[in-house]
């Protein structure tokens, strides 16, 4: 949907291409330099020949054009728009689906004091300006703060986190419920697939003295950085997209709250991949413990429901 809208816009607007930057560029349409923090997208973009940055520190400040595929999370989008205006001396284009922030894009960009043009296509909004150099500098500086980690207090404990991560400013209810239903004898080498900012692995390391080590995996490099800051040396945080994970029977248990969205679209198959990889990562007799939204059809042979509560289900399976 968003790719179709951007493709149409690029075909009908003379966007500068010689020195262009994409923020969250999709491999299907991106060109030039691309910023993307997701492991799977980085490799796909590199294979296409793009110059890819997974962190923002090395981005130049003199691009002719910056194109933003706006994410669903509002604060993160605010930060990316500010970054686009900072990095471009001329042209900035933004795109988002109508049902994921698109309807407010025009006013958001106009608030910087620049002249804005727009089009609606494929249930998306595309907006752009040719005079990004005139954007309000104080507003840019203020909104850039949405792109850096910050420490916030949640349930009496300080956590490093940032907009764009799953449940970035709260303790996720599903993860909390899963923690409450883990067995008291949880021990050995553990994995957390899709660790986010590191809540589950941090709490497991504190509450279960029998755990000797935790490998915490996430496909978002920002989550890996936050999980590292939120955890002790008992936890290793690893940047890894689980779809490409080479599973081996290393773990006594895998504990996870798997994602069920790929970008803005619900994707139950992504969660099923997590389950398959988790089961293949268990030692003989090892156990998988996971939480999922109640409506998701993850049930399969060997995976049983322990409890259903508050819109969630806690599921488990044992490796043969």
Give per-residue pLDDT as tens, 66-119: 999 999 899 999 999 999 999 998 999 999 999 989 999 999 999 999 999 999
Please name every residue paired with 53 in a beta bridge, in sequence order, or none if there are none: 35
Burial class (CB in 10 A: 0-12, 13-18, 19+), 119: middle
pLDDT over 80 at 265, yes or no: no
Confidence at residue 137, expressed as pLDDT on a 0 to 100 scale: 96
HSE-up of residue 167 (Cα within 13 Å, Cβ side):
19
Q: How confident is the model at residue 271 (pLDDT cuts 50, 70, 90)?
A: confident
Confidence at residue 261, expressed as pLDDT on a 0 to 100 scale: 44
Please name every residue paired with 74 in a beta bridge, in sequence order, or none if there are none: none
Assign 3-state DSSP to the chain and report helix, strand, coil percentages, each to 5: 30, 30, 35
First to last CA, the chain: 43
Confidence at residue 310, expressed as pLDDT on a 0 to 100 scale: 86
φ/ψ of residue 175, rounded to 5? -65, -40
Confidence at residue 263, expressed as pLDDT on a 0 to 100 scale: 47
Q: What mean pLDDT comes out for the span 11-33?
A: 94
pLDDT over 70 at 260, yes or no: no
pLDDT over 90 at 303, yes or no: no
Q: What mean pLDDT comes out for the span 250-267?
A: 74
pLDDT over 90 at 41, yes or no: yes
Distance between CA atoms of residues 320 and 229, nearest Å: 35
Q: How confident is the model at residue 266 (pLDDT cuts 50, 70, 90)?
A: very low
**H or E segment to which residue 91 belongs:** strand 88-97
Highest mean pLDDT among 7-21, 78-92, 270-284: 78-92
Domain 150-318 has CATH 3.40.50.150: yes
0.85 exceeded by pTM: yes
Distance between CA atoms of residues 183 and 152, nearest Å: 29
Q: What angle do CA 197, 200, 206 make, to 5 degrees?
A: 115
pLDDT over 90 at 195, yes or no: yes
Confidence at residue 301, expressed as pLDDT on a 0 to 100 scale: 63
Task: Note whether 6 and 31 are within 8 A (CB).
Answer: no
Confidence at residue 51, expressed as pLDDT on a 0 to 100 scale: 95
Task: Note whether 298 and 213 are within 8 A (CB).
Answer: no
Confidence at residue 299, expressed as pLDDT on a 0 to 100 scale: 66
Confidence at residue 289, expressed as pLDDT on a 0 to 100 scale: 97
Q: What mean pLDDT comes out for the span 33-59?
A: 93
Task: Note whether 82 and 54 are within 8 A (CB).
Answer: no
pLDDT over 70 at 129, yes or no: yes
Distance between CA atoms of residues 311 and 301, nearest Å: 22
Residues of the chain with CATH 3.40.50.150: 2-147, 150-318
Positive or negative, the Cα torsion across 178, 192, 274, 68? Answer: positive
**H or E segment to which residue 252 belongs:** strand 251-256
Task: Note whether 286 and 249 are within 8 A (CB).
Answer: yes
pLDDT in tens, 137-156: 999 999 999 999 999 999 99
| Fold classified for 2-147 | Rossmann fold (3.40.50)
- State the average pLDDT for the chain: 93
């Amino acid at each position: 949907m968003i790719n179709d809208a951007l493709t149409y816009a690029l075909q009908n607007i003379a966007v500068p291409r010689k020195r262009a930057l994409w923020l969250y560029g999709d491999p299907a349409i991106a060109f030039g330099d691309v910023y993307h923090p997701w492991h799977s997208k980085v490799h796909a973009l590199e294979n296409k020949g793009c110059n890819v940055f997974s962190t923002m520190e090395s981005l130049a400040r003199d691009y002719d054009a910056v194109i933003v595929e706006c994410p669903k999370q509002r604060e993160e989008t605010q930060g990316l728009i500010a970054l686009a205006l900072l990095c471009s001396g001329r042209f900035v284009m933004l795109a988002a689906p109508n049902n994921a922030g698109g309807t407010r894009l025009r006013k958001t960009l106009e608030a910087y004091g620049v002249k804005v043009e727009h089009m609606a296509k494929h249930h998306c909004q595309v907006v752009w300006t040719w005079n990004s150099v005139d954007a309000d500098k104080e507003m840019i500086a203020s909104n850039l703060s949405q792109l850096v980690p910050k420490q916030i207090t949640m349930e009496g404990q300080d956590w490093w986190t940032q907009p764009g991560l799953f449940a970035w400013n709260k303790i996720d209810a599903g993860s909390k419920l899963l923690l409450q239903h883990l067995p008291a004898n949880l021990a050995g080498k553990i994995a957390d697939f899709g660790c986010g900012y590191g809540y589950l692995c941090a709490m497991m390391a504190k509450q279960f003295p029998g755990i000797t080590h935790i490998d915490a995996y996430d496909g978002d490099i920002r989550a890996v950085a936050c999980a590292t800051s939120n955890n002790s040396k008992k936890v290793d945080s690893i940047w890894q997209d689980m779809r490409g994970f080479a599973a081996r029977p290393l773990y006594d248990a895998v504990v996870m709250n798997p994602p069920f969205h790929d970008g803005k679209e619900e994707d139950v198959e992504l969660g099923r991949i997590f389950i398959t990889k988790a089961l293949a990562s268990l030692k003989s007799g090892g156990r998988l413990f996971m939480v999922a939204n109640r409506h998701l059809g993850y049930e399969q042979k060997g995976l049983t429901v322990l409890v259903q509560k508050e819109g969630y289900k806690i599921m488990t399976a044992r490796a043969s």
